[in-house]
Structure 1
Amino acid sequence: MMVGRLSTADYRRLATVLRVLGEAGLKPTLARLGLIRTQNVQSFDDAEAEAFVRALERLGPTFVKLGQIMATRADLLPPELTERLSRLHDAVAPVPFEEVRSQLVDDLGADPAEVFAEFSATPIAAASIGQVYEARLRTGETVV
């Protein structure tokens, strides 16, 4: 991508971000965060803060990381929001396996079902930038 120019993929991602935020009804949140211009309201209700956190989770790992950073900024954001965002430090919703499968195929060189004797598609842990899966090697050794 050239500096100052957005690619088609950039525009698609931006459209996805705006759609997710719009579906979550977050225009007031964006205004409170200073991302769009409107009246300056400093408080968040619980439903609005929760919708914002869920939207960040839906947008993926980069946005979860952004939420984790925002959670540490009690000097800039209202406590109702930073409290909700702080859960992103230790309680991130897992990404559905079908969204992860292509990355695993790229990393492993084949589908996990071909590489392992057994592979659980249910993560045993999820974090902002990764998930942990349990598998059994063809030698019988259990691995994660």
Structure 2
Amino acid sequence: MVEVPTRLSIGQVAERTGLSVHALRFYEQEGLFVNAVRRGSGGRRVYDQDDVDWLTVCIILRASGMPLNVLRRYTDLVRDGAGNAEERLALMREHQDRVTAQISRLTESLDLIRFKVGVYEDLVDQGDAAVEQCHGPA
């Protein structure tokens, strides 16, 4: 039996992805869909599950800090099909390096925050007088 692709409205895709209707239109304008967004008989946008799946990838990459121009390039490579795996790999390795560096910076920040929480927990446990005596960039 042949599976008929589900036709989804822009509102349904917004609901499934968590993106706003405005963001979906923006993604389309920016060329961030692998497949051209189709239009129904009334001119309304029509999507399918492949579009939702692709948007999920885009959402994760954007959440990881991938710049729009890099995401656009990646989309172009995917759209072009086979034969550009080396460029896709290079693009993903560069982004992986950026994310790894970001995680390192966040880990350093979290270490400082944990230290500060410990300092203030100790001060609070000692009472208001100790908090008032805490000077400087504590």
Same fold (TM over 0.5): no
**Comparing both structures, which one devotes a greater share of its residues to strand?**
1
Higher relative contact order (CA 8 A, sep 6+): 2
Structure of greater Rg = 2
Q: TM-score, normalised by structure 2?
A: 0.29
